[in-house]
């Protein structure tokens, strides 16, 4: 890890040398004084003002939609809902206070867009935003982290000195800001692109396994007559995406390549907005691209249509002392942002099959997950009975199941909720309650089956590890994490070939690939909707037993056997090597599900989402402010909060 980090930093420094040359700065003669002068050189504030306005407007939509403002009552209203805070002692407030925080955050974003009481508006936005983000890691995304950083950077800037209510109401007007206002934002966007490119040097991406079957999307229709779906996936999505991320920041800095790179960047983000459900991220990215242009580009653009004296004004010197402490803080921030994406050798407890929590490492789209099964098993240690719980109970998503730290948090949340429910039932003198949990001495086990980047489905964690007794620390490796079976990664091409072959059998045929560890067993139930189910061993040895009889059948590599539907069977991996096997079957409901999925995708990936979803956005906005208004009445007059039940 340290070697990789050293290599990436060396590459970044070499590229920064090129960037300095583009700014007419001699790398060899650079010193703290020249850096200080460079960062405090006056720049026109127009481009920064445009970025501020667009960011604030987009956050008004983001708070309602992706931050969950329209569903505050569902997301934060149930005290039993399991949340996953980064800091263990960070507690969420009650629903009325949570609604009030969202209202303050929205008003802060509005103040940023208008440039009114700018510092206070940034604080109103940033404090609740980061608090909500830290309250639940299961909602983390790279762009969520980015929005928080941009909010903090705007707070430190003078982005309100131009085209803002503050400048309109102020007697001390200026159209200039120190260059560091631009530099720090451009550096952050540069890191976003460049590190996203560095993360894609992972062979998972370069070999074309991170994104699969996106070539079917309508956005690639112009290429479908030239390339196959697999070629589109590899050449356009993987290779072009890698090259664009790695180079776009540099191309935006260089004036000669800037026009073409702006067009490429806007096209790239608009395509992403259609392929993925990532909220305002593509539009925020587009809004920040013009920061790399000349600082007065909006003035030059307006001068083609409006002729006013104000447009021809020269940039005055900035009334801003060159503080060395500010330069030190800027450099510290830059180094911190360069270090955090490669800090996983310190925060080992957050490493699983992938390093760190998804959100601050800029490893966007490098890893794709396919989760087949999550089993939550609760053992009453007093009675010895086993009970199973729906893994979606008291949660809003399944992100927790891929991270050991969140699995531990979920287990403790389940225990508190279960014991509370049991206590309530006992108080009601429910006679059936003793058939469930009889004491507080329970154990909770989680068995997660998933595939990473097209591999076999396999267990992620030891299914026999009691999470209530887990020895977890941010600085220690996860001891109950099972290794990713990378030795079987070579089978991914075979998996693809077998899938393509099975799909030719009929419209209902399908296949599932599974790998398991020696000594562990898979208990599986075949739905009656499935016909002609066949088990085939690809590698290793297994023992099959069904609930219909006690007879055990040993299967070796290449062996196949039919599996009876509507009954449980157990597959035990024997020998010293992990086993690999597959189920082939006919799925009667596959075509119906495909039709529903196609209908959903056609509406989700429509060409003009911001216009076509405007009605839903307005509805969400009204619902959020109804909740905020209700929360104010509740806090002042104790009016009951109206809360919807989750679907």
Q: What is the pLDDT of residues 501-540, one digit of tens each?
A: 999 998 889 999 999 999 999 999 988 889 899 999 999 9
* Number of domains observed in the structure of the chain: 3
Question: What is the tally of helices (H) and strands (E) in the chain?
Answer: 21, 14
User: 458 has which bridge partners?
Assistant: 450
Give yes or no: residues 448 and 515 share one domain. no
CB 519 within 8 A of CB 573: yes
**Nearest Cα to 467, choosing from 491, 485, 443?**
443
Q: What is the pLDDT of residue 201?
A: 95
Give yes or no: residues 604 and 583 share one domain. no
Q: What is the pLDDT of residue 88?
A: 86
| The Cα angle at residue 599 between residues 598 and 605, in degrees rounded to 5 | 80
CB 415 within 8 A of CB 468: yes
**Nearest Cα to 478, choosing from 409, 404, 411, 406?**
404
Lowest mean pLDDT among 353-362, 390-399, 589-598: 589-598
Lowest mean pLDDT among 33-37, 129-133, 493-497, 538-542: 33-37
Residue 223 lies inside a defined structural domain of this protein: no
DSSP 321-357: ---HHHHHHHHHHHHHHHHGGG-TTT-GGG-SSSSS-
Between 507 and 196, name the one with better pLDDT.
Answer: 196
Residue that is last in its domain, among 468, 483, 498: 483
Distance CA 448, CA 353 (A): 13
**Nearest Cα to 449, choosing from 504, 522, 397?**
522
Distance CA 345, CA 351 (A): 9
User: Which of the residues 137, 186, 200, 402 is marked catalytic?
Assistant: 200
Residue 163 lies inside a defined structural domain of this protein: yes
Give yes or no: residues 644 and 576 share one domain. no
416-453 pLDDT, tens digit per residue, is: 999 887 777 666 665 555 566 778 899 999 999 999 99
Residue range 105-128: mean pLDDT, rounded:
98
261-320 pLDDT, tens digit per residue, is: 999 999 999 999 988 889 999 999 999 999 999 999 999 998 887 755 444 455 555 546
Q: Specify the length of the chain in residues.
A: 647
Give yes or no: residues 617 and 577 share one domain. no
CB 495 within 8 A of CB 454: yes
Give yes or no: residues 581 and 607 share one domain. no
Give yes or no: residues 575 and 626 share one domain. no
Residue 396 lies inside a defined structural domain of this protein: yes
Computed over every residue of the chain, the mean pLDDT equals 88
Give the orientation angle of helix 32-39 with respect to helix 324-339, to 10 degrees.
90
**Burial of residue 380, with CB atoms counted within 10 A of its CB: 0-12 exposed, 13-18 middle, 19 or more buried:** middle
**Region label for 644, one of left (φ > 0), alpha (ψ between -120 and 50) or beta (otherwise):** beta
Which uninterrupted H or E stretch holds 386?
A: strand 386-389
Distance CA 248, CA 268 (A): 11
Residue 208 lies inside a defined structural domain of this protein: no
User: 587 has which bridge partners?
Assistant: 530
pLDDT above 50 for 409 = yes
Q: Is 117 a catalytic residue?
A: no
Distance CA 367, CA 196 (A): 12
Give yes or no: residues 559 and 604 share one domain. no
Give yes or no: residues 442 and 417 share one domain. yes
Residue 57 lies inside a defined structural domain of this protein: yes
Sheet containing strand 541-546, edge to edge, reads 521-525, 568-574, 541-546, 552-555
Residue 244 lies inside a defined structural domain of this protein: no
Give yes or no: residues 51 and 163 share one domain. yes
Q: What is the pLDDT of residue 549?
A: 78
Distance CA 633, CA 630 (A): 5
Show the tokens assigned to 127: 């404090």
Give yes or no: residues 170 and 49 share one domain. yes
- What is the CATH number for 581? 2.60.120.10
CB 33 within 8 A of CB 327: no
Q: What is the pLDDT of residue 26?
A: 62
pLDDT-based confidence at residue 322 (cuts at 50, 70, 90): low
Show the tokens assigned to 539: 């590698």
**Residue percentage of the chain with pLDDT more than 70:** 87
Q: What is the pLDDT of residue 180?
A: 95
pLDDT-based confidence at residue 323 (cuts at 50, 70, 90): confident
Residue 17 lies inside a defined structural domain of this protein: no
64 three-state secondary structure = helix
Who contacts 222 (Cβ-Cβ below 8 Å, separation ≥6)? Answer: none
DSSP 438-478: -SS-EEEEEEEEEEETT--BEESB-TT--GGG----TTS--
CB 535 within 8 A of CB 581: yes
Give yes or no: residues 85 and 98 share one domain. yes
Distance CA 262, CA 286 (A): 9
Lowest mean pLDDT among 236-250, 429-443, 557-571: 429-443
Distance CA 322, CA 74 (A): 49
Give yes or no: residues 72 and 156 share one domain. yes
134-164 pLDDT, tens digit per residue, is: 999 999 999 999 999 999 999 999 999 999 9
Domain housing 48: 44-174+590-647
618-629 pLDDT, tens digit per residue, is: 899 999 999 999
Residue 435 lies inside a defined structural domain of this protein: yes
Distance CA 532, CA 616 (A): 44
Between 216 and 135, name the one with better pLDDT.
Answer: 135
Strands 552-555 and 509-516: unpaired
Who contacts 620 (Cβ-Cβ below 8 Å, separation ≥6)? Answer: 64, 65, 69, 70
Lowest mean pLDDT among 107-111, 116-120, 484-488, 589-593: 589-593
Q: What is the pLDDT of residue 599?
A: 45
pLDDT above 90 for 173 = no
Distance CA 440, CA 416 (A): 10
């Amino acid at each position: 890890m340290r070697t990789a980090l050293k290599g990436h930093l060396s590459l970044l420094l070499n590229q920064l040398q090129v960037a300095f040359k583009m700014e007419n700065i001699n790398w060899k003669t650079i010193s703290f004084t020249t850096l200080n002068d460079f960062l405090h050189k006056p720049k026109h504030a127009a481009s920064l003002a445009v970025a501020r306005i667009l960011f604030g407007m987009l956050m008004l939509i983001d708070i309602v939609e992706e931050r969950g403002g329209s569903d505050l009552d569902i997301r934060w209203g149930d005290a039993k809902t399991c949340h996953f805070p980064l800091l263990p002692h960070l507690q969420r407030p009650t629903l009325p206070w949570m609604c009030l925080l969202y209202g303050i955050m929205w008003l802060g974003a509005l103040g940023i867009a208008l440039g009114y009481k700018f510092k206070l508006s940034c604080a109103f936005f940033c404090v609740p935003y980061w608090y909500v983000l830290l309250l639940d890691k299961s909602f983390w995304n790279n762009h969520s982290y980015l929005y928080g950083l941009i909010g903090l950077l705007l707070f430190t800037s003078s982005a309100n000195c131009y085209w803002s209510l503050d400048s309109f109401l102020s007697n001390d007007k200026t159209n200039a800001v120190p260059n560091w206002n631009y530099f720090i934002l451009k550096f952050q966007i540069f890191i976003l692109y460049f590190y996203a490119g560095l993360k894609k040097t992972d062979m998972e991406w370069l070999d074309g396994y991170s994104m699969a079957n996106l070539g079917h999307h309508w956005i690639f229709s112009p290429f479908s007559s030239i390339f196959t779906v697999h070629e589109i996936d590899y050449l356009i999505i993987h290779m072009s995406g890698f090259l664009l991320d790695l180079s776009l920041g540099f191309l935006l800095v260089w004036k000669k390549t800037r026009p073409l790179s702006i067009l490429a960047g806007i096209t790239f983000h608009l395509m992403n907005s259609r392929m993925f459900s990532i909220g305002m991220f593509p539009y925020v990215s587009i809004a920040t691209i013009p920061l790399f242009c000349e600082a007065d580009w909006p003035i030059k653009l307006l001068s083609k249509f409006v002729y006013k004296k104000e447009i021809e004004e020269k940039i005055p010197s900035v009334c801003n002392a060159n503080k060395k402490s500010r330069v030190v803080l800027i450099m510290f921030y830059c180094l911190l942002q360069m270090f955090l994406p490669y800090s996983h050798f310190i925060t080992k407890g957050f490493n699983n099959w992938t390093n760190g929590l998804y959100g601050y490492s800029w490893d966007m789209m490098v890893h794709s997950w396919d989760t087949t099964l999550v089993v939550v098993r609760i053992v009453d240690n007093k009675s010895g009975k086993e009970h199973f719980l729906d893994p979606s109970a008291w949660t809003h998503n399944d992100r927790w199941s891929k991270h050991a730290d969140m699995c531990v948090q979920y287990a403790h949340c389940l225990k508190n909720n279960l014991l509370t429910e049991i206590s309530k039932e006992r108080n009601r003198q429910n006679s059936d309650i003793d058939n469930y949990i009889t004491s507080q001495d329970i154990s909770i086990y989680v068995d997660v089956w998933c595939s990473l980047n097209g591999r076999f489905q396999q267990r992620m964690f030891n299914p026999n590890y009691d999470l209530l007794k887990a020895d977890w620390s941010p600085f220690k490796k996860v001891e109950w994490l099972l290794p990713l079976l990378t030795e079987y990664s070579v089978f991914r091409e075979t998996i693809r070939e077998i899938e393509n072959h099975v799909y030719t059998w009929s419209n209902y045929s399908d296949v599932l690939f599974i790998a398991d560890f020696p000594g562990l067993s898979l208990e599986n139930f075949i739905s009656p909707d499935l016909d002609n189910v066949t088990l085939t061993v690809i590698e290793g040895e297994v023992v099959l037993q069904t609930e219909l009889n006690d007879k055990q059948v040993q299967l070796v590599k290449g062996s196949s056997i039919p599996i009876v539907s509507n009954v449980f069977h157990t597959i035990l991996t024997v020998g010293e090597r992990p086993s690999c096997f597959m189920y082939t079957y006919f799925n009667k409901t596959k075509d119906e599900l495909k039709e529903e999925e196609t209908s959903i995708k056609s509406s989700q990936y429509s060409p003009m989402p911001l216009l076509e979803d405007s009605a839903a956005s307005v509805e969400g906005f009204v619902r959020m402010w109804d909740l905020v208004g209700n929360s104010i009445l509740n806090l002042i007059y104790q009016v009951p909060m109206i809360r919807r039940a989750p679907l």
